[in-house]
Structures are given as structure tokens and as C-alpha cells.
């Protein structure tokens, strides 16, 4: 189904971020994007570039590929 990967990335990102005790605002600030952008990614509403995916994975200390599964 269209958008399944996008939604999976968002779900995984939120789960890892919350497990590490980071707010959307804190993670967005570290990456250099707006909190609304981070929220959109987590809800599966916004696409994320590979570079942003790598930065997001780095701040939550996971391999970027883990966010894709």
C-alpha cells in the first residue's frame, strides 16, 4: 500500500525517540528542523530525505536501517 514505508519510519522514529526520553521539540532542534516537521514525519504525513533520516537516527543512536523496518 502506498505510504506504508513512510508510516513505518514515523512509527519507529517515535518509538525510539520516546524510549530515549526525547521530546519532538528536542529532537527537532538537534536535527535543525521545526517541531511540526518532526511531528509530520512521525505521523507518516511528511517524506524524509535520506540525509535527515541519518541525522534523526544518529540522535536516537540507532542504525538508520532500523527505522525502515
Per-block mean pLDDT, blocks of 10 residues, the chain (69 long)? 84 92 89 88 90 87 90
Q: How would you class 61 by CB atoms within 10 Å of its CB: exposed for 0-12, middle for 13-18, buried for 19 or more?
A: exposed
pTM of the predicted protein model: 0.83
Question: In the structure grid, which three cell numbers stand for residue 37, read together?
Answer: 516537521
The Cβ of residue 3 has, within 10 Å, a number of other Cβ atoms equal to 11
The CATH number of the domain covering residues in 4-62: 1.10.260.40
Alpha carbon distances (Å) from 24 to 2, 45, 51, 60: 25, 15, 18, 12
Q: C-alpha cell of 66?
A: 532500523
pLDDT for the residue 1: 57
Instruction: Please give the pLDDT value at position 31.
Output: 81
pLDDT at 30: 83
Task: Identify the pLDDT of residue 59.
Answer: 84
Amino acid at each position: 500500500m502506498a505510504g506504508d514505508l513512510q508510516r513505518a519510519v514515523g512509527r519507529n522514529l517515535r518509538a525510539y525517540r520516546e524510549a530515549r526520553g526525547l521530546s519532538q521539540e528536542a529532537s527537532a532542534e538537534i536535527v535543525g528542523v521545526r517541531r511540526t516537521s518532526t511531528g509530520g514525519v512521525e505521523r507518516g504525513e511528511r517524506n524524509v530525505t535520506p540525509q535527515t533520516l541519518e541525522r534523526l537516527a544518529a540522535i536516537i543512536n540507532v542504525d538508520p536501517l532500523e527505522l525502515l523496518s
